[in-house]
Amino acid sequence: MSMLLVLCFATHTAEARRDRDPLISNLVSKELFAAIFLHKDDNACPAKGFYTYDSFIQATSCFPRFGNVGSLATRKREIAAFLAQISHETTGGWATAPDGPFAWGLCFKEEVTPQSDYCDSSNRKWPCYPGKSYKGRGPIQLSWNYNYGPAGKALGFDGLRNPEIVANNSLIAFKTALWFWMTEQKPKPSCHNVMIGKYVPTKADLAANRTVGFGLVTNIINGGLECGIPNDGRVNDRIGYFRRYAKLLNVDTGNNLDCENQKSF
């Protein structure tokens, strides 16, 4: 077993013992994964061949509570929500795309035209390494030094000195997306806790109308740019993916799909 995998399992051993069946492959087969991501390996996609089913399944073994808490419907809904969010972050779809705009997730593995090097120089806990860019990479488009640093520490790679590995190693790429999904970053709850119904809103959350649902997950991921805006196209794209994947998984989406009436964190 690799040292990276040992680190993952060491972090989640106690949780694994509590769970019934950590095999996501029982809910997402290789055939279903291919049906969800119809065009990820097309020549038009820069990430062709990068996001493999095996890497996804192996990455989930590091996070045994992902898609494995609550009822079957809750489990499926969380998986659909996660796959929808990473699909929007890496989409290659367009309005008239073959098979529709929501069949083109996981098309990109890194940000094509970053507006900066995403270095927050005021963050001294996770200082930027000279010459490195912390642009969006991987399924969740991990960004900023304050995310690369702790993700690397949790998963066993040097996120500050070697951020490029997230776009060069499929397994690590999926692990960073799951790490972000499962990890609480106060005042934000984890996306996982929101989708399994364990999110308890604070007074500030209630005042900001941050209600539980897929829309709150969007708020966690990119609320500063997308939430509090009526009929935002980016939010609608995320919802479109979620609806398609929920249908493929034979589960309802639940309520509160958008965040247009929510204030960002």
Q: Which residues are catalytic?
A: 89
| Cβ proximity of 162 and 170 under 8 Å | no
Q: For 147-150, which contacts have Cβ atoms below 8 Å and span 24 or more sequence positions?
A: 147/180, 149/125, 150/126, 150/183
Angle at 18 between CA 17 and CA 21, to 5 degrees: 85
- Nearest CA to 131 out of 162, 100, 104, 91 is that of 162
And the tokens for 60?
């989930």
Nearest-angstrom CA–CA distance, 191 and 111: 22
Q: Give kind and range of the element (H or E) at residue 57.
A: helix 53-60
What count of other Cβ atoms lies within 10 Å of the Cβ of residue 128? 21
| Cβ proximity of 39 and 51 under 8 Å | no
CA atoms within 13 A on the CB side of 116: 7
